[in-house]
Structure 1
Amino acid sequence: MANVKYKACDNCFQAVGKVNIVGNIFMIVLKGFLGVVGGSKGLIADAIHSCADLLATIVMIIGIKISGQEKNERYPYGYGKAEHIVAIVICLFLYVIAAYILYDGVMTIVEGRMVIPCTVAVWGAVFSILINELMFRQALCAGTKANSPSMVAKAWESRTDVYSSIAVVFGVIGAKMGFHFMDPLAAVVVGLMIFRMCFEMTQEAALALLDKAPEEASRVALLDRFNTLIEDIAVEIRDVKVRELGAILDFVVEVKVPDCITVQEGEKIKQLIAERVAGQQERESVLTVRLYPFENQAAVPA
């Protein structure tokens, strides 16, 4: 089960994969057929893009299954980072597809192999816009609620398909108006958009694998917020570190305490801080509290 607040959100999360598989198979057939019949390079490129979408959806489902496994002795921090790896794998699929689309579009223009596409190609692109926009909204909502990096990546991949289909519409219309290069140019635009989206998603996933703190979790803001939660306790949080483990936030909180307290008192302080901080997090969190005496910097053993 996804880490979501409402059962309806969990049902939506579980349905995203099936909806995307069915939707992409339909669009591969529709756009591929209409692209060939209508003679549109742009729409054929868009159909290839949908093939990549289908593969990306399958990889996403596998990644979410892996990341949802319980932690064990071999993987004490769990499998959360599998989602970031999956996001990168999805992008690798798309890099290859984008390179092919770019090459084919450019060579079509250079060699002058332009063909005036039929109007039927426009209808294929319009259907693609509608279906991909619906899939984008469902996947983005479910992925955001469940804090799933791979599902959010998949959602934006669907939005890119919307933009590419819009480019196809303009390309076909332009070609029919006499600008014959517009249709293969639309294919080139599709490839460039895929490249840009993939670069941004790859960068974000790679930074998460390197334990970069989430943008919203700046150190100063966290220190102020956490110290406010424990202002009635005679301790001070001196540092907070946070990293993403897929959908989970992993916090390490360093706390200054009087050097005269006992181990039992220290354990009570750790438990109290953990309860208060964890209770204020919207996302599922793992919290480690480390105690440091005032007089020296040696950590109190947990």
Structure 2
Amino acid sequence: MLAAVTHAFTPHSHDSAGKTDSALESSSRGLRVLAVSFVVLMVTAAVQAVIVVASGSVALLGDTLHNLADALTAVPLAIAFSLGRRAANRRFTYGYGRAEDLAGIAIVLLIAVSAALAGYEAVTRLLDPQEMRNPGWVAAAAVAGFAGNEWVARYRIRVGREIGSAALVADGLHARTDGFTSLAVLLGAGGAALGVPLADPVVGLLITVAICFVLRDAAREIYHRLMDAVDPALVDAAERILAGVEGVRRVGTVRLRWIGHALHAEVEILVDHGMSVVRAHAVAVEAEHRLIHDLPRLRAATVHTDPDGPDGADHHEALAGHRMAGRRIR
């Protein structure tokens, strides 16, 4: 009997098999995106490399190197997605989903390096303009570079948002920066064809500024994930779901956090203090069930059940000095 009471009023965890399968499918989708985008960007870089040899364009060489680097960002992300599929163990009790956030940091650093290289090349060409051969071919290669990168960017960002992967979204933003660099090459080639060689470095500087804005967005995305930030609308939705469970009188603290591209929840609900242990347990299980199935991308929930009443009773008096940090945030 004591064991039953303890179980009813301590955290209870439920991990839906369907949600686990969904999480594995999300990782599989992420790996497919990385494989497809890797092939597209490697083909794009190969086409550009051939034209670099024919034209001697330093700008196109830089763009080709950027595309190659962008393709290689698939490597840390693929490792992260593969690690995320591993089961939790006694050392990594929440699993390996955080590997995606580490990959996101690497991607943000690559975007920063891309911005620095683009700015450096633009300033160098501004101080020492380079003659460009076959500007028509260079322009065609620039269009190919932009098209390849923009397609990959849209693909990565769309799937990244669908599966909740901040790292994949950041990688899509990185691809977009390389597409901007390709546009700089295109405009530079147009300037060279019109007899305005300084057009290339000037546009390159403007594109560097655009890359910095993309860097800001990607860094903010990864920073929020590292700091366990979630959309407040998700917290509101979780509270509504819990409040709608029969037997729940009030909703206490609701905490959500991303681990990789899956959400985890820790919540408190209050039930009638006269409710039986068996009934209180059933309410907790139903609350978990509703959360896991109604809150998008939530893989697991831990529900703590507290008695509501009698008036004046403090069931956590012994913990009062330890629970200040756990106050509910409105």
Same fold per superposition (TM over 0.5): yes
Aligned length: 296
Residue 4 of structure 1: how far off its partner (Å): 4.9
1:42-191 residue pairs with structure 2 within 5 A?
Answer: 42-109=59-126, 111-117=127-133, 118-191=135-208
Residue 273 of structure 1: how far off its partner (Å): 0.8
Query: Helix, strand or coil for the counterpart of 1:279?
Result: helix
Tell me which residue corresponds to 2:240. Answer: 224
Give distance in 1, aligned partners of 2:55 and 2:163.
Answer: 41
Give distance in 2, aligned partners of 1:81 and 1:234.
Answer: 33
283-292 or 82-91, which moves further after superposition? 283-292
Give the 3 Å change call, closer, same or farther, for CA 155–254 of structure 1 in structure 2: same
Judge conservation of contact 1:12–1:138 (CA < 8 Å) in 2: no
Matched, 1:275 2:283: no
Tell me which residue corresponds to 1:265. Answer: 279
Give the 3 Å change call, closer, same or farther, for CA 192–258 of structure 1 in structure 2: same
Give the 3 Å change call, closer, same or farther, for CA 108–33 of structure 1 in structure 2: same
Deviations 1:136-180 (A, max 9, x none): 333233323322222222222223322332232122112321221
Tell me which residue corresponds to 1:289. Answer: 303
Deviations 1:60-79 (A, max 9, x none): 11111112211111111111
The percent identity for this pair of structures is 23
Residue 236 of structure 1: how far off its partner (Å): 1.6
Give distance in 1, aligned partners of 2:171 and 2:21.
Answer: 18
Residue 220 of structure 1: how far off its partner (Å): 4.0
Where does structure 2 lack aligned partners over 5 or more consecutive residues?
Answer: 1-18, 318-330
1:199-278 residue pairs with structure 2 within 5 A?
Answer: 199-217=216-234, 219-227=235-243, 229-230=244-245, 232-278=246-292
Give the 3 Å change call, closer, same or farther, for CA 190–31 of structure 1 in structure 2: farther
Give distance in 2, aligned partners of 1:277 and 1:159.
Answer: 36
What amino acid sits opposite 1:269 in the alignment? V
Judge conservation of contact 1:71–1:78 (CA < 8 Å) in 2: yes
What amino acid sits opposite 1:279 in the alignment? H
Residue 245 of structure 1: how far off its partner (Å): 0.9
Give distance in 2, aligned partners of 1:215 and 1:172.
Answer: 47
Deviations 1:266-296 (A, max 9, x none): 3222111111221212314211111222232
Give distance in 1, aligned partners of 2:168 and 2:112.
Answer: 18
Aligned equivalent of 2:37, options 1, 4, 20: 20
Give distance in 2, aligned partners of 1:77 and 1:102.
Answer: 41
Judge conservation of contact 1:164–1:189 (CA < 8 Å) in 2: no
Judge conservation of contact 2:241–2:290 (CA < 8 Å) in 1: no
Give TM-score, length-normalised by structure 1: 0.86
| CA RMSD of superposed structures (Å) | 2.9
What amino acid sits opposite 1:188 in the alignment? L
Residue 106 of structure 1: how far off its partner (Å): 0.7
What amino acid sits opposite 1:114 in the alignment? Q
Judge conservation of contact 1:132–1:158 (CA < 8 Å) in 2: yes
Greater relative contact order structure (CA < 8 Å, 6+ sep): 2
Tell me which residue corresponds to 2:16. Answer: none
Judge conservation of contact 1:143–1:149 (CA < 8 Å) in 2: yes
Judge conservation of contact 2:118–2:181 (CA < 8 Å) in 1: no
Judge conservation of contact 1:85–1:205 (CA < 8 Å) in 2: no
Judge conservation of contact 2:267–2:304 (CA < 8 Å) in 1: yes
Give TM-score, length-normalised by structure 2: 0.79
